[in-house]
Structure 1
Amino acid sequence: MFHSRLGCSSISFRHQELPVALRSMRELGFEEIDLGALPGVCDHVPYELTATAVKAVSAEALASGLRVRSVNGDIGDLNAVLDGDATAARQRHLDALLGLAAATGARALVLPCGSLDHNPVRSMDEDLDLIAAQLIGARERAAEFGVELWTESLHFLRFCWNLERAGLLADRLAGSGVGIVMDFSHITAAGEDVHAYLDRHRGRITHVHLRDAVPGNINLSIGNGNADFAGGLKRLARDGYTGHFSLELETRDVTHDERPAAAAKAASFITDLI
């Protein structure tokens, strides 16, 4: 029904409990999902991710018949300076998310590109160094679970919110094995050009999120903003991108009752462009 490389993030149905959200995506015809594990954004995965919770969530995902492409998680601000106890707590949370990714058969865990603040904790360079070091360390740990580690950068709400900072982070991650997740909505919201983004990240993109936006607003349904999906998807194909795509419809311009139809419409539109 939809392109085989096009999935849907459970964030698109974050208003529903996980079993209902999984059923909603399955009934629409999706075969692949990203599993949202972002506190305050999508609570499909408990923040207190105990072994029991990992087992319960993974069982729900596997029972749905949907493939899990990635787990989209958060282990806290990667540019924060932590003491020993906080560092240990972060490591436990990372291990729990990696355990969930492995148990669901996900290819990767996705982590953010820094804090929910554009201002540095120390300095821009020091914060970028720390974020890169945290991501590289997480990638090394992920390899022990048989899982890849990706970061969503740029992200309009995070520290690496524009093309300059995303590029500087990409430079620091070069050769590390950390993949880059591209999101059309964040590029557009930051006032950046998708082709300039792809020039800067040529050959580095491992996954693509799809949502529409206008400068300053990332929460629009596909077709209601200015994101250049046609140009961006054509350019990705020309650059040899063979990865997958996910509708991450954390939109605020449709009602919950309208959301399934909006997701199906977006999937058909994007399928025609891939």
Structure 2
Amino acid sequence: MRISDRLGCSTISFRHLPLCDALTVIGDLGFDEIDLGALPGVCDHVPFTLNGPAVTQVADEVIGSGLRVRTVNGDIGDLNTVLDVPGHGERRAHLQQLLDLTARVGAVALVLPNGALSHRPVVDLDIDISRVTMELAAAAELAATFDLQLWVESLHVLRLCHSLPEATQLTKALAGSPVGVVMDFSHVVASGARLEQFVDLFGDRIRHVHLRDATTGNIHHSIGNGAVDFAAGVAALDSAGYDGHFALELETRDVADADRPAATARAAGFVSALLQSTAGLARTTQAPASFAGHTPSGGIS
């Protein structure tokens, strides 16, 4: 089956490879579209210390691959951290470089996190979410000068906004801004929430969707090895009028590196079938338990 035009693959799925090699594998699998991973410690396809030459080098590699870029998934530091004036200047300079890269590769949006990799606020939750909101709104204003959108992964089980209540508070605070929401199926399920709940709450603000399997507390499963009801999630999005794109973000711990291309191809076929046929949504409620051919790995490591 041909991969859906609405389905891309994040380079995070092949983070163990140099960027050029990851792009080659993704193209060989039949994808036309990517998300470009730029997350320090997760995916180093984009250097955290960006300057003009680094932006040019990454952009040239991506453009040379012939792949279309939907988003750059980046990080400019903990948005709930208190910074002095020089710190703010460094953060804004980093943001400008990321936006320059995002524009050069022809992406639609830059995606940023919802706060630090900690559930513990720096001050308290209200103040921290207020800080994150202001930083995201300011980033969106700067993104607009590059003719780009700014989106946030509003629920991330490892970060400040790690469950529906925090994600709801952040999204309400962003109501007057153009910041869009990225929905990640694995983080929603790992947080203990249902995909339908997330869509009901934030459906009109969802701009992009990340796909990976999960169980409660564990976001690192290959599709078919967890508890995510992909068909229900896609159906909920369809009912809410979502017509955006999806990306396989297979930052998994239960597949050997050598097996990642095959697992990605199976996941692409499964998801493409869901996106292609509403009849398929009615027939299928979950990826088969043996879909990825591996045993779930257990807790987050």
TM range (shorter): over 0.9
1:215 maps to 216
Cα deviation, 1:241-267, whole Å, max 9, x if unaligned, reads 010000000001010010000000000
1:194 maps to 195
- The code of the aligned residue for 2:19 comes to L
| SS of aligned partner of 2:13 | helix
Q: CA deviation at 1:7?
A: 0.1
Cα deviation, 1:160-192, whole Å, max 9, x if unaligned, reads 000000011000111311010000000011111
Give the Cα separation in 2 of the matches to 1:45 and 1:202.
30
Contact 2:204 2:240 in 1 (8 A): yes
The correspondence of residues 126-137 of structure 1 with structure 2, limited to 5 A, is 126-137=127-138
Give the Cα separation in 1 of the matches to 2:46 and 2:76.
13
2:288 maps to none
1:106 maps to 107
Cα deviation, 1:106-135, whole Å, max 9, x if unaligned, reads 000000001100011111111111100000
The correspondence of residues 1-274 of structure 1 with structure 2, limited to 5 A, is 1-274=2-275
Q: CA deviation at 1:146?
A: 1.0
| SS of aligned partner of 1:253 | coil
Q: CA deviation at 1:204?
A: 0.8
2:296 maps to none
- The code of the aligned residue for 2:108 comes to R
Please provide the CA RMSD for this pair.
Answer: 0.6
Give the Cα separation in 1 of the matches to 2:226 and 2:176.
35
Give the Cα separation in 2 of the matches to 1:180 and 1:267.
23
Q: Which runs of 5+ in 2 are unaligned?
A: 276-301
- The code of the aligned residue for 2:21 comes to V
Give the Cα separation in 2 of the matches to 1:239 and 1:46.
37
- The code of the aligned residue for 1:194 comes to L
Give the Cα separation in 2 of the matches to 1:42 and 1:180.
21
Give the Cα separation in 1 of the matches to 2:189 and 2:168.
16
2:290 maps to none
Contact 2:203 2:237 in 1 (8 A): no
Give the Cα separation in 1 of the matches to 2:236 and 2:188.
15
| SS of aligned partner of 1:258 | helix
| SS of aligned partner of 1:181 | strand
Cα deviation, 1:220-252, whole Å, max 9, x if unaligned, reads 000000011110101101111010000000001
Give the Cα separation in 2 of the matches to 1:193 and 1:16.
33
Give the Cα separation in 1 of the matches to 2:235 and 2:150.
26
| SS of aligned partner of 1:232 | helix
| SS of aligned partner of 2:207 | strand
Give the Cα separation in 1 of the matches to 2:47 and 2:200.
37
- The code of the aligned residue for 1:210 comes to L
Give the Cα separation in 2 of the matches to 1:170 and 1:229.
23
Q: Which runs of 5+ in 1 are unaligned?
A: none
Give the Cα separation in 2 of the matches to 1:41 and 1:203.
29
| SS of aligned partner of 2:257 | coil
| SS of aligned partner of 2:92 | helix
Aligned sequence identity (%): 55
Give the Cα separation in 1 of the matches to 2:176 and 2:34.
28
Give the Cα separation in 2 of the matches to 1:104 and 1:53.
13
Give the Cα separation in 2 of the matches to 1:163 and 1:229.
19
Contact 2:203 2:242 in 1 (8 A): no
Give the Cα separation in 2 of the matches to 1:104 and 1:28.
21
Q: CA deviation at 1:202?
A: 2.3
Give the Cα separation in 2 of the matches to 1:130 and 1:43.
27
Give the Cα separation in 2 of the matches to 1:256 and 1:71.
23
Q: TM-score, normalised by structure 2?
A: 0.90
| SS of aligned partner of 1:22 | helix
Give the Cα separation in 1 of the matches to 2:196 and 2:243.
17
| SS of aligned partner of 2:63 | helix
- Count the aligned residue pairs: 274
The structure 1 segments of at least 4 consecutive aligned residues displaced by more than 4 Å after TM superposition are: none
Give the Cα separation in 2 of the matches to 1:214 and 1:109.
28
